[in-house]
Amino acid sequence: MQRNPRQTNINGNSIKKIISYLLLLLCVPTLIIIGNSVFANKKYSFISIGIAVIACAAFFLSFEYGRHSSIKLVLTAAMTALSVSGRFLFAMLPGFKPVTAIIIITALYFGAQAGFMTGALTALISNIYFGQGPWTPFQMLAWGIVGLLGGILSGYLKKNKWLLLIYSALAGILFSMIMDIWTVLWMDNSFNFTRYAAALLGSAKSTLTYAVSNVIFISVLLLPTGRALERIKEKYDI
């Protein structure tokens, strides 16, 4: 019996997608947990580079090689540069930045792997200016997961604007919750639920500001950016 080439291709893509998700959801947190024991010795830079490599590997697993893939890579790199620039431009306004909105938009139009890579590389590259440290891997993970989930849920988020706005707000809360794990580890080099709860309460105001800013930026940027990306995708059949 002959196999349907299209069905075989779909199955192959599904397997690659599963592998890429496993890389991001299992390997990245594991790398951070292992690396936490050596942060004091300035080894966090190796952990950050490791996360970047994993993010890129997952991204390259997500598409077939060819001219269209090259265009997708260039566009994802451009969105990463835009995200980094947005963080620079709003440096004077803590908690009010377009970074998460740009990462989510990237995920909506180019997939979960592209969303994770954009989020992770945004933290790594922009921290060349803002300062690298043991917090960098946590920022890479936090923004990466925001992009990953945005891509996984893209089918629902693109159809329902209110759902997208809710996700944008929740993304700000998720980012803060992951970063507060770092806050607790920085205090005592070990995780304590009581201190974690205190850290969440202490950062509630900035978390709320960030959640609101995400909603504002996604509302402003989605339509013009989305239209531009859709035209490019149609032009090059991505």
Could you tell me where the DSSP H helices lie in the chain? 5-22, 28-36, 44-61, 67-89, 99-110, 112-130, 136-152, 154-157, 161-188, 193-202, 204-236
Asked whether the CA dihedral 168, 171, 175, 180 is positive or negative, the reply is positive
**Over 80: is that where the pLDDT of 121 sits?**
yes
pLDDT at 186 over 70: yes
Least confident piece of the model among 59-63, 103-107, 181-185, 204-208? 59-63
Please report the pLDDT score of residue 24 as a whole number.
83
Judged against a pLDDT cut of 60, whether residue 40 lies above it is answered with no
Q: Is the CB of residue 164 less than 8 Å from the CB of residue 158?
A: yes
- Between the alpha carbon of residue 132 and those of residues 63, 84, 97, 120, the distances in Å are 31, 14, 19, 13
pLDDT in the model for residue 45: 77
Helix, coil or strand: residue 183: helix
Q: What is the mean pLDDT of residues 95-100?
A: 92
Residues 6+ apart with CB under 8 A from 147: 103, 104, 106, 107, 112, 114, 115, 116, 117, 118, 119
pLDDT of residue 155: 92
Evaluated on CA atoms 37, 38, 40, 42, the torsion sign reads: negative
Query: What pLDDT shows up at residue 216?
Result: 97
Q: How confident is the model at residue 73 (pLDDT cuts 50, 70, 90)?
A: confident
pLDDT at 8: 47
Q: What is the mean pLDDT of residues 64-93?
A: 85
Q: Would you say domain 5-236 falls under CATH 3.30.420.40?
A: no
Least confidently predicted of 126-130, 157-161, 175-179, 231-235? 231-235
Q: Are 35 and 137 in contact (CB under 8 A)?
A: yes
In the predicted model, is pLDDT for residue 114 greater than 80?
A: yes
- Quote the mean pLDDT of the chain: 86
Higher-pLDDT residue of 42, 61: 61
Give the model's pLDDT for residue 41.
Answer: 55
CB atoms under 10 Å from CB of 77, counted, come to 14
Percent of the chain whose predicted confidence (pLDDT) is above 70 = 88
In the chain, the percentage of residues whose pLDDT exceeds 90 is: 51
Looking at residues 137-160, what average pLDDT do you find?
94
For residue 52, is pLDDT > 50? yes
Listed by start position, the domains of the chain span 5-236
Residue 109 has pLDDT above 80, yes or no: yes
Specify which of 99-108, 110-119, 188-197 reaches the highest per-range mean pLDDT.
99-108
Model pLDDT, residue 1: 47
Residue matched to tokens 């019996």 = 1
